[in-house]
Every structure is written in structure tokens, then in C-alpha cells.
Structure 1
Amino acid sequence: DGNLDNINNWEGLVIENNKLIGLSIENKGITILTPTINLLEDLTILRLKDNGLTSIPNELFDLKKLEELSLSGNSAIIESDDFLPGLFSLSNLKELVLDQFGIGEIEGIGALTNLEKLFVENTSLDNIPSDIGQLSSLVELSFINGNFFEIPEGFFALNNVESIILRDNENLTTLPEGFNSLEKLTSLTITGSQGIQTFNRSIFGASSLKKLDLSNNNIGFLTTVDGIIPDEIGMLTQLTDLNLENNHINTISTRIGELINLKTINLSNNMITDVPKELGALTILDVLDISGNLQLNEIPEEVCTLEDLGAIIISEGECGDLRVSSEYSYIESEVGVIALFFIDVTLDAVIDPIFIEGDGPFDVDFGEIGFQIHEVNISDVLIREDTPDQVLVFESATQQFINGTNNLSFELISPSVPNKDLAEGRTYRVRLFNTEFSNVKTYLPAYELMVLD
């Protein structure tokens, strides 16, 4: 109707002082971008995500005020000879997103000296540009699912970079020394590169790091020496989050106890046998995940008694005197419930109490009670294909999880008192186990049991 009174509320437009400064055309199926886009000379933000663009008109590069440009999700774009020179002439750019974008190189990007955020994901990029070190204003950098084999030396000239993500770059096999020169680096993620088989010790010299994620690599695959978390880790005193899951790590340096700011540690699915008691010095630790370390020995009492520990997730071990029986076994071929982590409910009350009347003994037939396990983590290594991912509800109607057996019993594990001496109104810790097979007790997680008045 020609009424432009509400233009400020139009979807995808940002109006300031009666000027169009922001335009978002995302997932609209646009295949051609009109050359007259250069008439929007005040644009500072242009987002063209997830369209079917096949080319970019040179006129777009007349928008010299652009500070944010997203061309992601346009994989059909065919580069012209003028594309990269035009792109790199946008000297005011602060954020550039090239995700699922038909581009094979970005050499020359060093001209964008005002760039603060660069996200390059799911492209056919063969190399990280050698002039990347010229991006002196860069704060956030992400290269995901690329084809490059190495990181150029110029990478370590990024003096202002705070966050680096290198994820799922399968061809990346080595990391050069130099991470310790990135003095402002607070978050480093290098994951999903199976060719990375050793720790890069210069990483431990990046003293400002708060988050370190080296998960899903192959660290320690070749030799046991490579699988040792080195003593240099003690230098990362600002670290709050450490993720080393899905590697071949076998030994934790005792100096990990010096990382007093750690809140989350994930060492799951490695080859760790012993947890150092020095972890008990991490007084603000909230989550410790060491599940999937199949040869894990008893966890030191110093770790189990951490007051602020919200969750400890383990699979073949228990805290202090709450040990798994030496007869413990998963026996995958015979028992359906074989991949549940033991969760210490004294540290993380994710499991509902079981209420049973009487004073024992507690040999309870499966069909006589109903109880629930909420949000139980399940091992990716030992999970059965027909086992749910997150929530298991054990009732008489769901006996298929234990192959139909009713041979379940309770075993008192804490405190250590005879069944006949259980006091009414008190809560005890028990373990439920399957007794169908005479040669082994197949344990499920520990539960709380309250003897009612």
C-alpha cells in the first residue's frame, strides 16, 4: 500500500537514521544477485546465507562500508578471476563467513587488516593462506572440515587472536611449534584430526588458555610415551575446561593438580589406568568424566571427596570404598544392559531414590518394584545398538533390557552394616546386580535405598 511507516520492523532489514545499513537474505532460494546491490552504499552488514547463488556480481565489492559479510551455504558459486581481489578490497570488513562456499583458496586475505572474525567451514580449501599472519586485528578464527595438511608459520603472528577452532581437518597431521607465542589465546580447539598423534608442547606455553579441546584425535596411538599428558600441562594455570576424550592417552601428569581453576575435565574413552590423587587439589572442579577407560583402577579418595564436584562419570571403578567387585564383567553377548556408567549419587543426585518397605534382606524380584534411572550417560564404546541414548526406565514392562531375566538382587555397599541392622528412616547405598549367570555378577549403577518407618 506504499506505507513505509513500519519499514524498521521489516524482516531482514536494519535501518539507522533512515539509511539501510543491514540486509539479511537467508534461505530464500535466490540464485542471482542483482548488480544494482551497489546502490546500497551505506550497507555495513550483508548476509546471504543458504541461498542458491551461482555467482557474485563484481558490483557487490563497491560496498566499501561493509563490516560483516556472510556468503555461507552457497556451494554452487563459481569463482571468477575478479572474486578474490574484489573480496579483499573490502578493507573495512570485521567479520567474514565462508561456510559451504565454493572456494578453493583465500590467498591474499592478509589485505583485510581490520578483520576480527574469520569463519571458513566446509569448503574445498587446500591451504591456510600464507599471509594469514597479516590479519593483525583477528580475534576469532575457525577452519572446519578443510583439506589442508599443515599450518603456516604466519599463523603464529596473530597477536590478538583469542579463539582458534581447527575441527575435522582430516589431512592435518602435524602442529608446528609456536602456540606459546599467542599471548591472548584463551580458547583452543583442535579436534577430529586423526593424523595428530602427539602432544604439541608449545600449546602448554599458551599461558592465557582457559579452554583446551584436543578431543577425537589420535594422541598416543603410535607409542605409549606419546600418550602421556606431559608435566608442562601444569603451566596452564588459567585453564577452566580441559577435553582430551577419544584419544589413546594412558597417563595423567600429577601436575594437573596445579590447574586450580579447572571446572570441567573430560578424559573419557582413553587408556588411562590410574587417576592421580593430585586431582583432589582441584577444589572448584565440577565435572570429571573418565568413563570408557576400561582398565581404570580405583579412584583416590582425595578425588571422590571433592566438595564441589557435581558429577563424576566413570565406568569400571568406584570412589574410595565403593569398589566394583573383582568379578565385575560386562559380558556383552549375554546381558543387554552392559554399558551404563556407575554414577556416584552422593556426588550427583541424578537417580531417583528407591523406596522399599521392610528391613531386608533385599533380594527383590524385578517384577515386584518399579524404579527409574534418569539421564544416565552411556558409553559410546560399549553401547548396544538397541539401547536408548539418554533415558532408561526400568519397569516390569521393559524387561528386554536385561533379556527378560528376573534375577535381580540388591547388594548393600554403603555403609557397611548387616541387612538386619538397617535403621528405619535412613538412606543407604545399594547396587543392583543380575544373578542369572552363576559365574559373574553383572552390576548396574549404584542407587539410594530408604528404609521406611
Structure 2
Amino acid sequence: MSRLRGVAGRDPRAGFKPDGRDCCTSVPQGLLKAARKSGQLNLSGRNLSEVPQCVWRINVDLPEEANQNLSFSATERWWEQTDLTKLIISNNKLQSLTDDLRLLPALTVLDIHDNQLTSLPSAIGELENLQKLNVSHNKLKTLPEEIANLRNLKGLYLQHNELTCISEGFEQLSNLEDLDLSNNRLRTVPASFSSLSSLVRLNLSSNQLKNLPAEISRMKRLKHLDCNSNLLETIPPELAGMESLELLYLWRNKLRFLPEFPSCRLLKELHVGENQIEMLRAEHLKHLNSILVLDLRDNKLKSVPDEITLLQSLERLDLSNNDISSISIINLIFCSLPYSLGNLHLKFLALEGNPLRTIRREIINKGTQEVLKYLRSKIKDDGPSQSDSVTETAMTLPSESKVNIHAIVTLKILDYSDKQTPLIPDEVFDAVKSNIITSVNFSKNLLCEIPKRIIELKEMVSDVNLSFNKLSFISLELCMLQKLTFLDLRNNVLNSLPEEMESLIRLQVINLSFNRFKILPEVLYRILSLETVLISNNQIGSVDAQKMKTMENLTTLDLQNNDLLHIPPELGNCVHLRTLLLDGNPFRVPRAAILMKGTAAILEYLRDRIPT
């Protein structure tokens, strides 16, 4: 009760308002009694037009049972009540809140979404323990300056209000991780937003923004940026330097050009549909090594560069409703749509709404796999003879024709993929000469070992693709690529990784899917820079949850289609995981219904089952 006396000290009448309980007819006494024990009170959907005094004073006034001459069991001792930490008063008819809000200083969660609030009281700044504040779906026009005092706030949800600007001092919310300002009337984003150094997710969609401040690139932890449905005409080039960015939504704006993304090597989804983009060049694509989803629908594209086939991780490509008129053969200077697109492992390809003349409508209507099959067949039919006439001339030696010099000089990529060769010829490495190479692509060959000369690139290469080969071991040369951040080893015959891989201290993404691993390689637990581990379709029977917890940068773990009979509950403590995929394993719990709810639900389910 000492905390109650501290609050009462602010109000000399505290504890002496018997009439406060009389006005509280809309809140059952049993609900208040339960809230004093649990510290949580849910009053959503009760048609409240104001918050009853007994709610604000729940930790101040003596409860009704204190006036009764009764003996109390251990579970009914009202004087051992818990301070209210969670208050939900959403889906009511509240038009205002009073400064009595300050009588609940222990609140960590305040949820007042779906009301009719036009403002917030200044006393909200006194809730110094608040971590989550949801005021979405109200009628707020401004925010009180005192909101800047909520230094422990991690989640702030202000979507669907009438805000036209952001108050000064907002940048002082240094612990804020999730900020939703969508569906307001914002015209600008202050440059001071860059001080929100902990922000992971920022939603600015459905506002009236014409530009973004360049300073936004200083948000070093930002992974999810949503700017859908605004009036953006350009994107600051600094945005392309955001190394942590994984999801970027720019759908339904007025963009005419797509920026390059040299530093966004972790970018998994790029949505730029419903803009006015007329051209897609190789420079726009060459750094998108981790891209899974590329949405370009409803633009004005007339062609797609052949370099799109370098996006080996791409799963969904939407090109619908553009101006692509024909499909051209691989390696021609101008390609409307390259046949080589058929070599990508796409799960979804949309071409509807383009004036295509060289692919029948019934093929498109049959779906993605039929379209890819058609494109691959055209490579076999037309590709070699046509490409030879383009790439080999009297001035070109046959051995040199195997090396894509354009990719080396312009794209900084050493590409010798899809040759079905057991060895990489020396002339491939010789062709590098003094050029800077950042990416190596030796995928879709018959390599049984990694070329030893790859060590010559150790000072510069950051991305290596060795997928779809016959590798049964990893050589030490690969472990010496100190700048390596992205490594694709899927579809080989690997069953172990060397301990020396621990020296890859910059490695962020590794793809080991479709190999022969029976356990998660021990060395992965020690590569603390890892953010994405893809190891689906192996034979893994167990994972070490305690060691996994030390991988604090790991946000994506794909364990689908393995032999896991048991998921350790301690895995629920890996709260840094944003994506955990477990489908296709023979375990019985968690049930499929839990898996369908997503990663957060899976982790919560597991945590609840940790033995105490």
C-alpha cells in the first residue's frame, strides 16, 4: 500500500471519496476486484462516454469490501492489491480523457483505440512507465508536447486520426521501436525523426507526403518502412544506404524512377506498384541479392533487363498492367521480357494486362509454372544460336565469350552460372584483372569443390552464390572471404560446415536449403552477425534453443520440411525472431492452427510451456 499512499499524496482527498464508487455503475465490482489482483482491466466495447472515476482511482480509493466486517481468505486480501499496469478502454464513445490519468502511474499498456478523442490530456506525460500506447481510430488533430516524456515507450499507434503535423520533441522517444502514423493528414516528416535510433518499424502510409527527409537514412535499425498511398515523386538517394531495411513499401505514389539500392542487401520485399515508373535498368537490380518479392504492377514499363535473372532468391514477381509488348531472346541489347526469366525459381509470376504478342493468352492463364515452362522451352529452342551470333564475333575468342565482361565492369559481378561445368576455367578469374568484384555467381554448375582461386577475391567480394552444384564440403578458401555477407549454398549435398566458418564475422544471410544436414551446424551458433538462416528441406532432427538465444541478430529462421519431432519450449525465448518457419516437420505440437497464426503466436505458445 506504500505506492498507493504516494499517489494519494498528490490528492488530499484520495481515499475519502465514497461517492466515487456510486458513480461506477457501468463497471461491475467483480471486474474491479479482479483487476486489483491481476493489474489488468479491460473495458472495451461498453458504450462508455466517459471513464468512471472508480477506474482512475482503482489504486487510490479503498475497495468496497474494505468497509465490510468480513474475514478474508488469502486470495481476498484487498490490501495486497496490484497496481494497474494494463488498461484497455477501446471501442467506446469517449470524447476526452481527464488529467486523472496521472493516478495510474504504473501503466505500461494504455489502449484507447476506436473512440472519438480529439485530444490527449497533458497528464499523459506523467505515465513514465508506459511502453505501449494505442490511440488509433480517433479524431486527434494534435499531440500534446508532454508525450515526449514517455521515454520508455516502445510502441506508439496513431493510425486513422486527423494529424497534420508531428509535435516538437517527438524525437526524444529514443526507445520507440514501432511507430504507426498511417491514415492521417501529414504533409511532411520532420528531419528530427532520424533521432529515433531504436525504430524498427515505421508506417507513414495513406498521408499526403510529397517527399521524405534524407535524414531518415540515419535510422540504423529500421527494417520496415511503409510509405504506400502518398504523393511521393522521388525517393532520397540516401534511402538506398539503409543497411538494415528488409521491407520497403512505396505502392501508389507518383514515382517515375526507381533508385538503386547499393547498401540494402537485406531487402526482402520491394513494393512499387501503381506508380509511373517507365524504365527498369540493371543498376536498379544488381544489389538486391536477398529480394523475395518484387512488385512492379501498374506502372509504365516497356522492358525488363536480362539481369533480373541474377535475383536468384526471387519468389514473387508482379509485372501485371505495364506496357511490355514482346518477349525477346536472352542477351539481346533490348529485351522486353527475357526468356531467361524461366530459370528463376518463382512461386508467383504475374504478366496479365501487358500487350504481349509472343506468348499466348492461354499460357498466361494457366499460371506461373506453365509460363516458366514455356520460357525455358524458348531458351532451348532459340537461345544458343541467337546468343552466339550476338556475343561471338571474329574479334572474340571462344574462351572469352564464356565470361560476361559487362557484368564484371558495370555490375561488379563475376558471373559464370548455368554452364553445367565441373570446373571454373582460369580465364574466368583472369577476366577480373584490376576490376572490383563484389558478387560471385557460380550457381547451376556441377562443382564438387569450391574453386581455390576464389581466395583472390577475399578483399572485396561480399556475395557468393554456389547454389545448385554438387558440393559435399566447404573449403577453407571460402572461410577467408572476410567481407562475405551473403552466402547461397542451397541445393548441394552438404552435411556439415567447417568450424573455420566462424571467422566470417560479417555474414548476415546464409541459405543451406535442400542439402543433407541432420543437425543445425554448430558453427552457425557462433556466427553472431547472422540475421537470416534458411535451412529448409534437410533432415534436421533438433535445434539447441539455448545457443539459439545467443544469436541476438537472428530475425529469420526457416526450418521447414525437416525431421523435427520436438520443438523445445525454450525457443520461445528467442524474442528477436521475426520470422520462424516450422511447417512440414513431424512434430505434433505446436498444432497447425498455431503455426498459421505466425511467428509471434508460435513464440508465445512455446514460452507458455517452459517448465518453471
Question: 1:276-287 maps to which residues of 2 (within 5 A)?
Answer: 276-283=338-345, 285-287=346-348
Whether the 8 Å contact between 1:24 and 1:48 is mirrored in structure 2 is: yes
Q: Deviations over 1:192-217 (max 9, x none)?
A: 11x2111112x354111011111111
Q: Which residue number corresponds to residue 110 of structure 2?
A: 46
SS at match of 1:20: coil
CA contact (8 A) 1:109 1:129 kept: no
Determine the C-alpha separation between the residues in 1 that align with 2:342 and 2:374: 15
Q: 1:233 aligns with which of 272, 281, 285?
A: 285
Match for 1:136: what amino acid? S
Summarize the Cα distance change of 1:89–1:264 in structure 2 as closer, same or farther, 3 Å threshold. same
Note the C-alpha offset of 1:5.
5.8
Match of 1:200 in 2: 259
Q: Identify if the C-alpha distance between structure 1 residues 130 and 319 changes in structure 2 by more than 3 Å, giving closer, same or farther.
A: closer
Distance 2:107 2:88 in 1: 11
Mapped partners of 2:294, 2:284: distance in 1: 14
Residues in 1 aligned to 2:188 and 2:305: alpha-carbon distance in whole angstroms: 35
* CA–CA separation in structure 2 for the residues paired with 1:36 and 1:156: 40
Task: Encode CA deviations 1:385-433: one digit per residue, 9 max, x unaligned.
Answer: xxxxxxxxxxxxxxxxxxxxxxxxxxxxxxxxxxxxxxxxxxxxxxxxx
Aligned to 2:275: 217
Taking a change above 3 Å as real, the CA distance of residues 313 and 152 of structure 1, as seen in their structure-2 partners, is: farther
Whole-Å separation in 1 of the counterparts to 2:285 and 2:294? 11
Q: Say if 1:242 and 1:114 are closer, same or farther in 2 by CA, change over 3 A.
A: same
Instruction: Say which of 187, 192, 195 aligns to 2:247.
Output: 187
Quote the offset at 1:311 in angstroms.
3.1
For 1:108, which of 164, 169, 175 is the aligned residue?
169
> C-alpha deviations, 1:175-208, integer Å up to 9, x for none?
1101232111111111111x2111112x354111
Give the match's secondary structure for 1:249.
Answer: coil
| Secondary structure of residue in 2 paired with 1:212 | strand
SS at match of 1:28: coil
* 2:216 aligned residue: 155
| 1:310 positional shift | 7.3
Could you tell me whether the CA contact under 8 Å between 1:291 and 1:313 is conserved in 2? no
State the partner residue of 1:11. 42
The reply on whether 1:259 has 2:311 as its aligned counterpart is yes
Q: Deviations over 1:121-162 (max 9, x none)?
A: 121212101101111101001101212221112111011100
Structure in which a larger fraction of residues adopt helix: 2
Q: Tell me the distance in 2 between the aligned counterparts of 1:236 and 1:280.
A: 19
Deviation readout 1:20-73 (Å, 9 max, x if unpaired): 222222120111212211111111111111101122111122101111112211
The answer on whether the counterparts of 1:236 and 1:259 sit within 8 Å (CA) in structure 2 is yes
For 1:295 and 1:78, the matched residues in 2 are separated by: 49
1:46/1:68 contact within 8 Å kept: yes
Contact 2:339 2:376 in 1 (8 A): no
| Aligned length in residues | 298
What is the alpha-carbon distance in structure 1 between the residues aligned to residue 367 and residue 377 of structure 2? 19
Q: Which amino acid aligns with 1:244?
A: L
CA separation in 2, counterparts of 1:232 and 1:217?
A: 16
SS of match in other structure, 1:217:
coil
Amino acid at match of 1:278: S
Residues 215-239 of structure 1: CA distance to partner in whole angstroms, max 9, x if unpaired?
A: 111111xxxxxx2343440321111
- Distance of 1:291 and 1:215 partners within structure 2: 14
Secondary structure of the structure 1 residue equivalent to 2:84 = strand
Q: Secondary structure at the match of 1:147?
A: coil
Counterparts of 2:265 and 2:245, CA distance in 1: 8
- 1:265 touches 1:288 (CA, 8 Å); kept in 2? yes
The whole-number CA distance in structure 2 between the counterparts of 1:181 and 1:200 is 11
Distance 2:218 2:112 in 1: 31
Give 5+ residue unaligned stretches, structure 2: 1-27, 45-58, 60-80, 328-336, 379-612
RMSD over aligned CA atoms reads: 3.0
Q: Does 1:311 align with 2:363?
A: no
- Supply the AA of the counterpart residue of 1:151: L
- Distance between the aligned counterparts of 2:90 and 2:302, measured in 1? 47
Residue of structure 2 equivalent to 1:64 = 128
Q: What is the one-letter code of the residue matched to 2:314?
A: L
Q: Among residues 18, 21, 27, which one is paired with 2:85 in the alignment?
A: 21
The answer to whether residue 37 in structure 2 is matched with residue 37 in structure 1 is no
CA offset digits 1:285-337 (Å, max 9, x no partner): 211111111235238xxx99xxxx973597xx976889xxxxxxxxxxxxxxx
- Distance, in Å, in 2 between the alignment partners of 1:282 and 1:209 is 18
Shift of 1:258: 1.2
Q: Deviations over 1:247-275 (max 9, x none)?
A: 01111111111111111111111111323
Cα 1:28–1:2 change in 2 (3 A) is closer
Check the 8 A contact 2:286/2:310 in 1, yes or no: yes
Q: Does the 8 Å CA contact 2:343/2:376 hold for their aligned counterparts?
A: no
Match of 2:6 in 1: none
**TM-score, scaled relative to structure 2:** 0.45
Could you tell me how far apart the structure 1 residues matched to 2:212 and 2:145 are?
23
Hey, what does 2:298 align to over in structure 1? 246
Q: Secondary structure at the match of 1:291?
A: coil
> Retained in 2: the 8 A contact 1:298–1:320?
no
CA 1:31–1:238: 2 relative to 1, 3 Å = same
Task: Tell me how far apart the structure 2 counterparts of residues 219 and 267 of structure 1 sit (CA, whole Å).
Answer: 12
Inter-CA distance 58–270: structure 2 relative to 1 (3 Å threshold): same
Contact 2:214/2:239, CA 8 A, preserved across alignment: no
- Alignment partners' CA distance in 2, 1:279 and 1:130: 41
- The residue that corresponds to 1:360 in the other structure is none
* In structure 2, distance between residues paired with 1:12 and 1:237: 48
**Match in the other structure for 2:426:** none
Contact 2:109 2:133 (C-alpha < 8 Å) held by counterparts: yes
